[in-house]
Amino acid sequence: MTNTQPIDYVDVRNGGLEFYSRVDGKSEFVGFAHTAEEAATLFVKHGTGHMYGGSAMDFASEEGFDTDEGAQEMLDKAFELAHAEVNAAETVRFVNVFHSAFETEAKLVACVSVQDLGFGTVEQALEYAYRWTQNIHDSWSKNGEKDGNDRVETVDGEWWSKDGFSEDRMGYRSTSYRDHMMAGGKVYRVDMIGFTQVDKIKPASWE
């Protein structure tokens, strides 16, 4: 059974925090976090209700924390990070997609509208922009029947063909590893898995 209930119980174990929720009257394990960042990710993904803590929360040093207050401090930090992540996602209206993995200069190829889609994290908005700039069945940039999306505004310029850039206007290539995106005034590099926030857009050819 997939847990769809908010996290409402936390306990301490082996220098980290264990999280649970009530499902059909029973306590179900949600996840374990070694850091406040990992805990915040769980909060954003599952949501939180009124949080109850196990007795070990007051004696965290007996479970691997440096101090008895360490578990509560980590929990407080996790709430702070999760709140900031949700707030950041709510301010993102557009994701700009730059192709920079194979180009000598980064090129803006698309502006993807993500407002009103209800994303809980910035990464979800980036994933949406990534999916809808992929040539899986046809051409995203030429608004193909399957890969086209009205929320994607293509920025005109040179277009990609099997022989490289040409006037055949076959459409832009798919967004790929080492391309970049901008959302909420911040820059993100497309990684093999997920995205990494970076200082600026840097074409791979510059490295």
Q: Which runs of consecutive H residues, i.e. helices, occur in 59-121?
A: 70-91
Residue 40 sits in the same domain as residue 128: no
The per-residue pLDDT for range 165-189, each reduced to its tens digit, is 444 556 899 999 999 999 988 899 9
d(CA 33, CA 61): 16
Residue 195 sits in the same domain as residue 144: yes
pTM: predicted TM-score of the whole model, two decimal places = 0.61
Residue 22 sits in the same domain as residue 67: yes
The per-residue pLDDT for range 88-110, each reduced to its tens digit, is 666 788 999 999 999 888 999 99
Q: Rounded to the nearest 5°, which phi and psi values hold at 26?
A: -120, 150
What amino acid occupies position 125?
A
Out of 90, 125, 152, a domain closes at 90
Q: How confident is the model at residue 34 (pLDDT cuts 50, 70, 90)?
A: very high
- Which residues contact residue 162 at a Cβ distance below 8 angstroms, ignoring those fewer than 6 apart? 170
Q: State the chain's mean pLDDT as an integer.
A: 87
Taking alpha carbons only, the member of 84, 75, 95 closest to residue 120 is 84
Q: What percent of the chain has pLDDT over 90?
A: 58
